[in-house]
Copies of this chain bind each other. A is one copy, B any other.
Amino acid sequence: MTQAVRHDSMRARNLGVVLAEVRRSGPVTRAALAEITGLTKTTVSKMVGDLLQAGMVAESGTLRDGERGRPGTAVALSGARVAALGLEVNVNHLSACVVDLTLAVRLRYAQAVDNRAASPVETLSHLGRLAHKAVDEARLAGLVIAGTTLAVPGLVDGGLVHTAPNLGWRDVRVAELLDFPVEVDNEANLAALGELWFGSAPDDFLHVSGEIGIGAGLVVGGTLFRGARGLAGELGHVVVVPDGPECRCGGRGCLEQYAGQDALLRAAGLDGMAEGVPVLLERLEAGDEDALRACRRAGQALGVALTSAVHLTDPGTIVLGGVFAPLFPWLRRPVHQTMTDRLAAMRRSVPDLAVSRLGGDAATLGAAGQVIHRVVADPWSHVATARTDPGPR
C-alpha cells in the first residue's frame, strides 16, 4: 500500500517533469527528453505514452537530436483534447471562453446583461446556460473540459463570494448555485493572470481592470501577489479624497467614485448603462468638452491612487485594461502627468503606462488559463479522468 502510494507519487512527479519539458522545448524526441530530465528512456517512454493516451501531447514528425543523434519521433504539446472553461460575471456582462492546453483560445462568448437588476440566483442560472452551451460546442470540437474557473468582481473566499459591492452580492455561495464544479476567484486577479499569459505584459506589472468597479492585480516575477488572505489589489477602494462621496463599499472618496465606469459616464453627462462607453468614445473622438473633462479628472484621480500603489507595491509597468483600454488615448496623459508630478523627484523612474491588448477579455482568459496551468503543473490528477472520459458525444 505505502509502496503503491510512493510509486504513484513518483509517477505523478515524473509525468509533470516530462510534460513541462515537452511544453518548454517541444517538438522534442523521447531520447532528448531522457537526456534533459535525467530520467531513464524507459520511464520517459512510459510517461510519453500516458500523455499521448490522455491527448496532452501528440507526435509531430521525425526530428534529429543534435548533430550526432539518430532521428526519432518528436512529441509536442497538443491542443486537440484537453481544454479549460473560463467564465466571468461582471456588472454589465457575462462571458465565457474555452482555451486549450496550448493556451489557444478556441471559443468566446459574451453577453451584455445588467446583473445589478437580477438576483444572484438569476444571474448564475443565466451563466450556467452560457457555460453549458460552451461545453457542448467544445465537445463537438473534440475537446474535454478539464476544469472551470469563474471570475467575480468581489472578495472571494473559496466558493463563497463574501462581497461584490457593485453587483450588490453579499455572502453568495456561488459554487453551490451552479450544477458543475467551479473554482471562484477575483476578477482583477484573473485579469492580471490573463495579461501575463495571453497579453504582452512583462513579468512585473500592475494590471488595472477598469469596469464599474476598479480592481488591480500585481504580478511580481511572473507570480500573482495575493496578500495574506487573497484579498489584495482592491485599487478601486484606495482613498483618493478622505472626505469624498460615499462609496458602495462603505468607505468614502474611493477611486471608484472618481474613475469607475459609472462615475466617469455620469461626469461626462451620460447614463451609466452598458451602451454608455461606446457613446463616451464617440463624444471623445468628436472633441466633446464634457467628455474630455470627465476623462481628464478620472485620469487625475487614477494617477493619485496609482501614486499610492507605486509607493506601496513598486510595480514594474502599469497596464490599463477593461474599459480603460479603449479610453487609454484620453487617460494616458493625465495619469502619467499626475504620477510624474508626485513620484519623479523621489523615485529613479516612474513606472511605464501601457494599454492592455485584451481589454475586457482578460479576466475570462485568465480564468481558463489558471485551469490549464494547474493541469500542466499536475497532469497526473488529470490523466485518469481524461483516459476514462468517453470523449465527444
Contacts and interface: CB of A to CB of B under 8 A. Distances in A.
Interface in A209-257: 216, 220-221, 225-235, 237-242, 249-252
A345 B229 CA distance: 17
B231 A220 contact: no
Contact of A342 (B241, B250, B343): B250
Interface string A277-320: 00000000000000000000000000011011101111110000
Contacts of A83: none
A232 B218 CA distance: 12
Nearest to A202: B228
Nearest to A154: B346
Q: Which of A216, A341, A348 has the most CB of B within 10 A?
A: A348
A261 to B, nearest CB: 19
Contacts of A163: 345-347
A59 interface: no
A205 to B, nearest CB: 8
Interface string A190-218: 00000000000000100000000000100
A317 to B, nearest CB: 9
A276 interface: no
Contact of A155 (B165, B230, B347): B347
- Identical copies in the complex: 2
Contacts of A333: none
Nearest to A220: B228
A162 interface: yes
Contact of A241 (B157, B242, B345): B242
Contacts of A312: 216, 232-235, 238, 308-309, 312-313
Q: Name which of A308, A312, A344 has the most chain B CB atoms within 10 A of its CB.
A: A312
A251 B347 CA distance: 11
A384 to B, nearest CB: 31
B231 A227 contact: no
A316 B341 CA distance: 32
A238 B348 contact: no
Given A308-B308, A312-B233, A165 B228 contact: no
A251 B346 contact: yes
A165 B226 CA distance: 30
Given A228-B315, A307-B239, A311-B234, A252 B342 contact: yes
A313 B227 contact: yes
The 9 closest A-B pairs by CB, nearest first: A227-B314, A250-B345, A204-B228, A234-B311, A232-B314, A251-B342, A228-B316, A249-B346, A231-B314
7 contacts: A163-B345, A165-B346, A233-B312, A234-B346, A237-B311, A237-B346, A249-B346
